Structure 1
Amino acid sequence: MVATSHLPIGRNVRSYRRRDGRTLTAIAGLCGITERYLEMIEAGSKVPSADVLARLAAELGVPLAALFTEAPVDEPATRVSTAPAIARALMGYAPPANAAVLGPAQLRERVETVWRIWQSSRTRFTEIADILPALIEDVEHAVRTHRGAGDAAVRREVLRVAADLYGLLRSYCRRTGRLDLSLMVADRAIRAAEDADDPVRIAVGTWNLGHVLLSHTDPGAVEEAKHIALQAVGQLRHAAPASPEAAAVQGALELVAVVSDARRRRWTDARRRLAERAAPLAKQVGEGNIAWTVFGPTNVALHAISVEMLAGDAAEGLRLADQIDTGKLPSRERQFTHRLELASCHALRRDDAAVLVHLLDLEDLAPEDLVHSPFARDMVLQLQRRIRPVFRRQVSGLVERLQLA
C-alpha cells in the first residue's frame, strides 16, 4: 500500500473545497464518488486514482498540479527574469535618428540566427539576452525609416523581418515572466504583418497572441485563445493561396484551439480536433519548422500526450509517449516541454524515481529552461519534500544547482 502521509493532496482538496464554500456531498456527487470516499481522501487515508484526481481538480477549478503542492496556489508563480536591456529596447529607447539604417537582408540574417539560438541552444536565455537589445533597436529603426517613404518592396520586407522578431520576443517575454511585454510584442507582430500585407504572417502573429492568452489563468482568456485562433484559420483560408506554409500555420492554430479545449477540461473536443483537424494537416505538410512553429506529425502527437496529461490519464499519456521519437525535433524548448510532461505523468503515478530521472534529463537538455519553468521548479521542490533517503543526495544537488534552497 502506498504511504499517504507525505502527500498534500487531501488537505489541498479540503482547502480548495472550503475556499469556495462547497460541501462534501456536492463535490463527491459531481465527481462520481461517495461522500465517505472524499472524506478519506481529505483525511489522507486514501490516495485517489489519476482519473479521480483529474475530476476533483476540474470541479474545484484548479490545475491538477495544484493538488500536489504543499501550499495551495492557483498557478506556480513565474519569476520575472527578462533582461532589463531587452525591456528598455522594447519600450522605445532607440538609436539616434541619424544612425545607419540596415537593409532587410542583413536584418533577416540576424533574426534567423537568433531564432536558431532560441530553438536549439542549451543556454538560450543567456545567449539571446546579449543579442536582442541591439537587434530590436536596429529593426525598429529600419521600420520607422521606411514607414512613409522609400522603396515599397524594401519596406514590406523590413516589416516581415520585424514580425518574425516580435514572434521570438513573444516567446522570450512569456518565458521570463513578462506577460505584459509578451502581449505587446504579439500585437506588434500582427500589426507589422498587416502593414506588410502578408496573410501567413498575420496568422502567425495570431498564433503568437493565442499562446499569450493560453498563459493566463483566467478561463476567459483561455477561451479567447481558441476563438482568435479559429478566426485566423478562416481568414487565412480566404486570404492566402494553398501552400505548405499556409497549411502548417493553419495546423499550428488548430493546436492552440486543442490546448484551449484541454485547459477548459473539454477532453472530447480536444481529442476530436487533434484527430480531425490537426493530424490531417500535419500529414499534409510533414515534419518541419515553418514560421518557427515546429508543426508536423510529431508535434501533433506531443499534443495528444498533453491532452491526456491535463486530463489526468497518466497511463495513456505514457503509452502514447512510448510511440514517439522527439530526437529530431528542431526545437529544444518543445523537447523540454514534452519531457516535463512525462515527469508530470510519473508524478501522478507517484513514481518518484522516474520523476527524478526525467528532471535530471531536463537539466542536461535545457538547464536554463528548468530554472525558468515555474512548474518544473515546483516539481523539484515537491520531490525534495517526499523523496526517499536513497535519492535525497541527487535531489538536494538539483535543488542547489537551480538555486531553489
Structure 2
Amino acid sequence: MLQVIDPVASTPQTILAGGWRQMADQLARDVGERVRFHRLAAKKTQAVVAGLAGITADYLYQIERGKKIPTLPVLLTLGRALDLPPAALIDDSSHEVAPPHRRVAGEDLHRAMTLPVPADEEPMPLTDLRTQINEAWQLWQSSPTRYSQVSGLLGQLIVEVERALRADTSADAGIEAYRAAADLYGLTRTVAKRTGRVDLAFLAADRAQRAAEASGDSLRVGAARWNLAHVALAERHHDVAEDIAMSAAHDLREHSGPDAAAVYGSLVLVAGVAAARRRDTWTARDRIRSVTPVAWKTGERNTLWTAFGPTNVAMHAVSIEVEAGETSQACHLAEEIEHERSPSIERRVAFLLEQARSYQQRKDYGSALVLLHSAEREAPEDVAYRPLAHDILRSVVQRANRTTAKEAAHLADRLSVPVS
C-alpha cells in the first residue's frame, strides 16, 4: 500500500531537520556512554571529573545521560581529565584491539602452525605423544587457567605431531599418528578460536579433518567435521556450518554404540545453533528435541572431547531461546540446569555467559553482572578472552545504574577487558 505524505507537514526541510536530530541524539548518547565508561574505569566521581574539566557536575551528568553534546573545548578538557585523547570520546573504533595476553597467544600459535618443523630430532614415542595430547585436552576442559597452560603446550605438541606424521613407520603406527594429529588439531582449533585467530582455527580444523580421514576412524571424522562446523559458525557462515554438521551426522546414523551416538548428537546440536542463527528457530528447536532421547541413552559422555549428554542438550536449548530473543523462556530453562554436571569448563562458562546475555537483553544488568562474576570464579581467563563476555560487560558499564556500572568497570579493569 502506498504511503501518503502530507505535503505541508513533511517538507524536505522538516525531513532533513528530523534526520539531523536523530543523528545528533545518537551522537549525544554515544559520547555520553564513553565519557561515563572512562570515568568509572578511572574510579573518579562526577564531581571530580567535572572539577578537572571546569564544568558543573550537573552538566557532566547531562552529558553522560546523552542529554547534551559537549562543545569541542569541553571535549578537550574532558579528555585531559580522563587522560584520554578527545577522539576516544567521539569514536572509539580505533581502540578495539585484542588485549596483549590474547594477542601474544595468537602469535605463538601462528608460529607453531606455519613455521617449518625442525628435522634434526627423532619423533616422540607415539604413546608419550598420545598421553600429552590427552593431558592438554584435560587441562583445556577442566583448568580455570586453561588458556595460559594450554597455549604454552600447543607449539611443541604441533611440532611432535608433524614429526610423527613424517616418520617412516609401520601402517599401524601411521594410523595412530593420524589419530593423534586429528585430536591435537581439534584442540588447536578451539584454542585458536578463543584467542581470536579464526584464520588459524580454520587451518587447524582442516588439518584435523584430513588426519581423521587418513586414519579411517569414522568417529574422528565426525568430530573433525564438528570442529569445522564451529569454525563456520564463528565466521557467520551459518548455512555452511549447518550443511557440514548435518551431513556428518547422517554419515554416523548407521554406526552403533554410545560413542557414535554422542558424536552424532553433538553434530545435531551444532546444526541446531546454525539454524537458530539463520533465524529458523523451529528447526533449531526440533533438532534439540530430536537428540534429547539420545542424550538420555548415552548419559554424560565426553567422546572425543565433545561433552555430549543431557546437560549439554539442555544448555543448547537455552542458547536457542537466547538466539531467538525469547529471554523469559531462556531464563526459565536455565533455572532447571545443574551446569556443574558438564565435564567441560568451556561449556559451563558458555552457559553462564548465555544466561548473562539473556538478562542483558531484558535490561536486568544487575543479574547479568552476577552471572559474569560467576563465570569469573569458574574461569577468570575465559571472561578475559571471550568476546561475548566483553560485549556484556560493555553493555552493563554503559547502561546500568551507577552502582552496578561501577562494579562492572572494576571487573573489566581487573581482567584487562577492552570494553570501551
TM-score w.r.t. length of structure 1: 0.77
CA distance in structure 2 between the partners assigned to 1:131 and 1:345 by the alignment = 35
Unaligned runs of 5+ in 1: 1-7, 13-43, 45-69
Percent identical across equivalent pairs?
38
1:201 aligns with 2:214: no
Matched residue, 2:303:
290
Matched residue, 2:257:
243
Deviation at 1:392, TM superposition (A): 4.1
1:234 aligns with 2:250: yes
Matched residue, 1:41:
none
CA distance in structure 1 between the partners assigned to 2:216 and 2:200 by the alignment = 24
Deviation at 1:370, TM superposition (A): 0.8
Matched residue, 2:340:
327
Matched residue, 2:240:
224
> Would you say how many aligned residue pairs link Structure 1 and Structure 2?
330
CA distance in structure 1 between the partners assigned to 2:26 and 2:276 by the alignment = 26
Whether the 8 Å CA contact 1:78–1:373 is kept in 2: the answer is: no
Q: Decide which of 317, 328, 339 is 1:304's aligned counterpart.
A: 317
Matched residue, 1:176:
195
Q: Decide which of 145, 150, 164 is 1:123's aligned counterpart.
A: 145
Whether the 8 Å CA contact 2:276–2:320 is kept in 1: the answer is: yes
CA distance in structure 2 between the partners assigned to 1:355 and 1:124 by the alignment = 24
Q: Decide which of 254, 264, 276 is 2:268's aligned counterpart.
A: 254
Q: 2:300 aligns to what SS in structure 1?
A: coil
1:271 aligns with 2:275: no
Report Cα offsets for 1:263-299 as digits up to 9, x if no partner.
Answer: 01111111111112x2122122111211100001110
Matched residue, 2:115:
92
Q: 1:327 aligns to what SS in structure 2?
A: helix
1:105 aligns with 2:119: no
Q: Which residue identity is paired with 1:300?
A: V
CA distance in structure 2 between the partners assigned to 1:329 and 1:77 by the alignment = 32
Equivalent positions of 1:54-73 (< 5 A) are: none
Deviation at 1:316, TM superposition (A): 0.5
Q: 2:279 aligns to what SS in structure 1?
A: coil
User: Kindly tell me: are residues 226 and 92 of structure 1, through their superposed partners in 2, closer, same or farther at Cα, counting changes over 3 Å?
Assistant: same
Q: Decide which of 372, 381, 384 is 2:385's aligned counterpart.
A: 372
TM-score w.r.t. length of structure 2: 0.74
Deviation at 1:365, TM superposition (A): 1.3
CA distance in structure 1 between the partners assigned to 2:245 and 2:368 by the alignment = 34
Matched residue, 1:30:
none
Deviation at 1:207, TM superposition (A): 0.5
CA distance in structure 2 between the partners assigned to 1:264 and 1:382 by the alignment = 24
Q: Decide which of 408, 412, 416 is 1:399's aligned counterpart.
A: 412
Q: 2:343 aligns to what SS in structure 1?
A: coil
Q: 2:397 aligns to what SS in structure 1?
A: helix
In angstroms, what is the RMSD of aligned CA positions? 2.4
1:347 aligns with 2:360: yes
Whether the 8 Å CA contact 2:393–2:408 is kept in 1: the answer is: yes
Deviation at 1:179, TM superposition (A): 1.1
CA distance in structure 2 between the partners assigned to 1:389 and 1:237 by the alignment = 54
Report Cα offsets for 1:217-254 as digits up to 9, x if no partner.
Answer: 3xxx211111111111222235xx41111111110110
Report Cα offsets for 1:9-33 as digits up to 9, x if no partner.
Answer: x969xxxxxxxxxxxxxxxxxxxxx
User: Kindly tell me: are residues 72 and 204 of structure 1, through their superposed partners in 2, closer, same or farther at Cα, counting changes over 3 Å?
Assistant: farther
CA distance in structure 1 between the partners assigned to 2:26 and 2:388 by the alignment = 20
107-116 or 282-291, which moves further after superposition? 282-291
Q: Which residue identity is paired with 1:274?
A: I
Whether the 8 Å CA contact 1:343–1:359 is kept in 2: the answer is: yes
Deviation at 1:386, TM superposition (A): 2.2
CA distance in structure 2 between the partners assigned to 1:281 and 1:268 by the alignment = 19
Q: Which residue identity is paired with 1:347?
A: Q
CA distance in structure 2 between the partners assigned to 1:256 and 1:391 by the alignment = 34
Deviation at 1:319, TM superposition (A): 0.6
Unaligned runs of 5+ in 2: 1-22, 28-65, 67-89
Report Cα offsets for 1:51-104 as digits up to 9, x if no partner.
Answer: xxxxxxxxxxxxxxxxxxx9999xx9877633433211111331224x022222
Q: 2:389 aligns to what SS in structure 1?
A: helix
User: Kindly tell me: are residues 78 and 268 of structure 1, through their superposed partners in 2, closer, same or farther at Cα, counting changes over 3 Å?
Assistant: farther
Report Cα offsets for 1:314-366 as digits up to 9, x if no partner.
Answer: 11011111111011211111011100011111112211211111111111111
Q: Which residue identity is paired with 2:240?
A: E
User: Kindly tell me: are residues 71 and 204 of structure 1, through their superposed partners in 2, closer, same or farther at Cα, counting changes over 3 Å?
Assistant: farther
User: Kindly tell me: are residues 394 and 246 of structure 1, through their superposed partners in 2, closer, same or farther at Cα, counting changes over 3 Å?
Assistant: same
77-86 or 306-315, which moves further after superposition? 77-86
Q: 2:264 aligns to what SS in structure 1?
A: helix
Q: Which residue identity is paired with 1:216?
A: E
Matched residue, 2:161:
139
